[in-house]
Amino acid sequence: MRNAFGLMLMSLAAATLIATAGWFWTSHRSSAAPQTFAAAQATPAPVHAKPLASRDPIETTGSIPEKAPAAPALQPKQTCANPDALGVSRVVEIDTTGGPGFGFEHFKQIDFLGDKEVVLSFDDSPWPVNTPAVLKALADQCTKAMFFSIGKHATFHPEILRQVAAAGHTVGTHTWSHANLNSKKLNEQTVKDEIEKGNSAVKLALGTAPAPFFRFPELQHNPAAVAYLGTRNIAMFSCDLDSFDFRAKSPEQVINTVMTKLDKQGKGIILMHDFQKHTAEAMPELLRRLKAGGYKIVFMKPKAPMQTLPEYDEAMMKDMKLPVAGVRPVNTIVQTVSQ
Ligand SMILES: [Zn+2]
């Protein structure tokens, strides 16, 4: 009896060990492993870029779901089809309580990256053609990034922003209309509105709360705005390395600026714009150069989702619905009477 009981205990212990090891393996694989699923999700949709002049929220109202779609499913276990992929070397979870600041250009308290460690971040998302191209390049290299979405852009192209989230990237926010929050023209209430409208618009577009990660447009902040975000437990992101890709005249220039700065600094949070054509075109080669240079990607994700403010969520829902009210089917308004 004692022997049988002992054997039973031993096999129980072994089973627990195997189960734990299995969990460790799968959970680490699923969070850090490169992903082919992302590649399928990130295939550029046939979305046509609109000229900037046509940025009118009314025309895109129909694409905002009335009812929030279900949150993207937790990422299934995935493997990377590219054996030479850049991948993700480390995933870090950020506790945003009190609004910590990242990026040594402005916030110099938190130094968490090791030598050769790099965080990829993209601003002004989402935008047709360029954002899907960036997503494809990241998926091909089985790697992950942060995207800071402008609220208005999110309402124009919610389907593209959902592709970003579905591919497992972190989606943070970047105000409603890309206002310079350090401008003397903005009062405290306007600054709050810019931040919170942006947050709620991104949430509405995604169908789920974004990360409590925020980047100031033009990297312009002031103490009052920083204090406000702190009370909202939203982490603030500057950068360690600005690509200045919006000034670049070619993809090569984006690559050269990033690699030159990186080789000098050795690590850092890189700021780019998925909104920019040259950046989108630069991504496949830039990611290859990062891999060849021995750089490792660190993926930042939040410990908990952003808590948006209900009054702004409601206002945004109303705003999005307003233009729809009273709109009849086109064929009841416009009829061909002669041809
Ligand atoms: Zn921006």
The answer on pLDDT for 264 being more than 90 is yes
Distance 236 CA to ligand 1 centre (A): 14
Dihedral sign computed on CA atoms, order 105, 103, 143, 37: negative
Question: Is 51 a residue whose pLDDT tops 90?
Answer: no
Bridge partners of residue 301, in order along the sequence? 93
Cα separation, 289 vs 300, whole angstroms: 21
Mean pLDDT over the full length of the chain: 82
Q: What is the whole-number distance in angstroms between the Cα of residue 172 and the centre of ligand 1?
A: 12
Query: How many angstroms separate the CA atoms of 276 and 52, rounded?
Result: 13
- Residue 7 to residues 2, 15, 18, 260, Cα–Cα distance (Å): 9, 12, 16, 62
Higher pLDDT, 281 or 58: 281
Task: Mark the residues whose beta carbon lies below 5 A from ion ligand 1.
Answer: 123-124, 217
Q: How many residues does the chain have?
A: 339
pLDDT digits (tens, 9 = 90+) for 66-79: 444 454 544 455 67
- What's the gap in Å between 271 CA and the centre of ligand 1? 10
Cβ-based neighbours of 275, under 8 Å, separated by 6 or more: 123, 124, 125, 127, 130, 131, 153
- pLDDT confidence of residue 328: 64
CA gap 321, 324 in Å, rounded: 5
State the pLDDT at residue 104: 85
> pLDDT of 196-222, one tens digit each?
999 999 999 999 999 999 999 999 999
State the pLDDT confidence band at 20, using cuts at 50, 70 and 90: very low
pLDDT of residue 302: 97
173 phi and psi angles, rounded to 5 deg: -125, 165
Res. 23: pLDDT tops 90: no
Give which of 136, 124, 263, 97 is closest to 202, Cα–Cα. 124
The Å distance, Cα 55 to ligand 1 centre, comes to: 16
Ligand 1 centroid vs 287 CA: distance in angstroms? Answer: 22
Distance 29 CA to ligand 1 centre (A): 33
pLDDT > 60? residue 312: yes
DSSP string, 36-62: SHHHHHHSPP-PPPPPGGG--GGGGGG
Looking at residue 332, its pLDDT comes to 77
Residue 179 CA to ligand 1 center (angstroms) comes to 9
Sorting pLDDT into bands at 50, 70 and 90, what band is 38?
A: very low
What is the pLDDT at residue 106?
A: 87
How many Å lie between the centroid of ligand 1 and the Cα of residue 11? 57
- Quote the ligand 1 centre to 194 CA distance (angstroms): 13
Strands 235-237 and 213-214: parallel
More confident residue, 120 or 55: 120
Ligand 1 centroid, distance to 97 Cα (angstroms): 24
The DSSP H or E segment spanning 149 is strand 146-149
